[in-house]
Amino acid sequence: MFRLNENYLKLPGSYLFSTIGKKVGAYSAAHPDKKIIRLGIGDVTQPLAPAIISALHKAVEEMGHGETFRGYAPDQGYDFLRNAIADNDYKARGCDISADEIFVSDGAKCDSGNIQEIFSVDNRIAVCDPVYPVYVDSNVMAGRTGSYDRARETWSNVIYMPCVAGNGFVPELPKETPDIIYLCFPNNPTGAAATREQLQEWVDYACKVGAVIIYDAAYEAYISDENVPHSIYECEGARTCAIELRSFSKNAGFTGVRLGFTVVPEELKCGDVQLHSLWARRHGTKYNGAPYIVQRAGEAVYSPEGKEQLKAQVAYYMKNAHYIYNGLKAAGFTVSGGVNAPYIWLKTPGNMTSWEFFDYLLEKVNVVGTPGSGFGPSGEGYFRLTAFGSYENTVEAVDRIRTLL
Ligand SMILES: *Cc1c(COP(=O)(O)O)cnc(C)c1O
């Protein structure tokens, strides 16, 4: 008789977004006249830029003619896209990354969940707390995390690195030595960014202890500070210790279109085995490539018109971020993030728990955000607001929240 992968049964239910949905549903059923504004969404709302739409149309048309029809894409992605990525995201920033080191995929969530497959189940992972849940849950499924402590909401075989006000929401080097380190900057959910010096310290540490860093740079396009690196490969030595994940979701609105990529440098080795060859094998065996149409849309992200239009799109969201940050700060709230990321991390007032503040905001001013405790124990007492709404709704929500203090 078949048996289950029992690791799946260890996963605690992820009640965060379903609980939010239920609470908001119950409130709006009881108060149908109230206009609820949602600043909890982690999804973009602006339509695809014209340069991308026109590339999509053109590629669709090509698929309808025998001479230009394309079937399976190359495993690692089309050269036109991988070259555009290597030139624009890496060479233009002085990073020595070649097209051959880029693996095109259907997004960073899948890649961040799948990448752990090429590592032994004995490896010990280190994650930020609070954290994007995929890194931990995918390792739970693989059987790498030990047992779950319900009271503390932590796994016995995971090294948690608290990201709190005291360290500016950038973790300190862990006391125990991890094998795999997950880092995401600019960060979801805190909106914090690591400086070049801070990230260099992590690269030096990983090289010293023989750990690999899995660096999620999904929010790279939101960076405004000069001293915040866009890629981990801006740090010396990163080619021997780091894998980088990127996505077209947040910089170009591809959350529903689906496109991302992973960079695995040739020098990244375990003994004399290249991780590049293992990931290539995994990709070739289990993945048949991102759609041609979508890869052409991705190419348009790097065209002069595409770049211009997407700069404006990111600026639109960041104008929201600044309005939230400045408005709440002026009103007396303690806020961080919002400078290099579309997330504002708000300290709940009056020592309310994250969920108490959620209920309070919903009932008093009809604004929805995300309780920080949903991202990990160190998120307790915090609240995430996102800049992905419309400007009008953002202004109205902030003006309502300001009346509370
Ligand atoms: C949104 C997001 C991603 C992107 O995921 P896709 O699968 O590419 O849409 C990756 N990492 C983090 C932390 C995110 O918030």
Within 8 A by CB and 6+ apart from 291, the residues are 73
Question: Under 8 Å CB-to-CB from 130, ≥6 apart: which residues?
Answer: 163, 189, 190, 372, 375, 376, 378, 379, 382
Q: Does residue 402 surpass a pLDDT of 90? A: yes
Bridge partners of 161, per DSSP, are 128
- Span from the CA of 108 to the centroid of ligand 1 (angstroms): 5
Q: What is the pLDDT of residues 128-159, one digit of tens each?
A: 999 999 999 999 999 999 999 999 999 999 99
The angle at the Cα of 355, spanning 350 to 359, to the nearest 5 degrees, equals: 85
pLDDT band at 261 (very low <50, low <70, confident <90, very high): very high
Can you say whether the dihedral through the CA atoms of 67, 69, 72, 73 is positive or negative? positive
Q: What does the angle CA 311 – CA 316 – CA 319 come to, to the nearest 5 degrees?
A: 120
Q: What tens digit of pLDDT does each residue of 265-323 get?
A: 999 999 999 999 999 999 999 999 999 999 999 999 999 999 999 999 999 999 999 99
Report the distance separating Cα 250 and Cα 216, nearest Å: 12
Residue 41 pLDDT level (bands cut at 50, 70, 90): confident
**Distance of CA 109 from the midpoint of ligand 1 (Å):** 5
How much of the chain exceeds pLDDT 70, in percent? 100
- Burial (CB < 10 A; 0-12, 13-18, 19+), residue 12, is exposed
Say if residue 13's pLDDT is above 90. no
- Classify 326 as helix, strand or coil: helix
DSSP 62-127: HHTSTTT---SPPTT--HHHHHHHIIIIIGGGT----GGGEEEES-HHHHHHHGGGGS-TT--EEE
Ligand 1 pocket: which of 216, 248, 259, 287 to mutate (most atoms within 8 A of CB): 216
Which pLDDT band, with edges at 50, 70 and 90, does 405 fall under? confident
Task: Find the 218 Cα to ligand 1 centroid distance in Å.
Answer: 6
